Amino acid sequence: MTRIASSRGRDLIESVEGLRMKAYQDGNGVWTIAYGHTSNVHPGDTCTQEQADAYLAGDLHQAEWAVNTFVKIPLNQNQFDALVSFQFNTGALAHSSTLPLLNEGKYTEAADHLLLYNKASGKVLAGLIRRRKAEHELFMSPATTLPDTPKKPTSELPTRSWNVVFDYYWNLILNIFKRK
């Protein structure tokens, strides 16, 4: 079953990312716009609310895909949402110390490992400490008995074009080569 983030998870991401309509450099020097969107962003870029929502939907879809793909044990909605937020921000769930613990069923230890990811460019950032704490608290909170629904029905979310997918992976490849 493919899961999607609930409105609570999406609200967490929107609140910690914040909305910026003009491109800026994040704590790692990566050009970013909207709700933490980094793919194909250049200095001076701007976006509309509609574009920001579309970027968020696409980036959220990628984060949801990663959690659905790499986590091999059952999660409640809050755990899923917390991991989607973590993946959305770091892109590192597959290579994190959290994932093996989680897939061994060590839920509490895995949640505690989320708190370790509080640095950008080697420096501890207060914003990342707050974000990881919020993700940890969400992960550890009991799931509600009623299912939570996304803010927008899936049919209203923008469809992904192959250009968006290509841009994402092309930028990922370029960033890997920049690090070497």
Contact between residue 119 and residue 144 where contact means Cβ atoms under 8 Å apart? no
- The answer to whether 17 is a known catalytic residue is yes
Of these residues, 14, 17, 50, 64, which one is catalytic?
A: 17
For 103-117, give one letter per residue: b (16+ CB within 10 A) or e: eeeebeebbbbbeeb
Contact between 118 and 124 (Cβ < 8 Å)? yes
Task: Report CA-CA distances (Å) from 131 to 88, 115, 154, 176.
Answer: 12, 9, 26, 25
Active site residues: 17
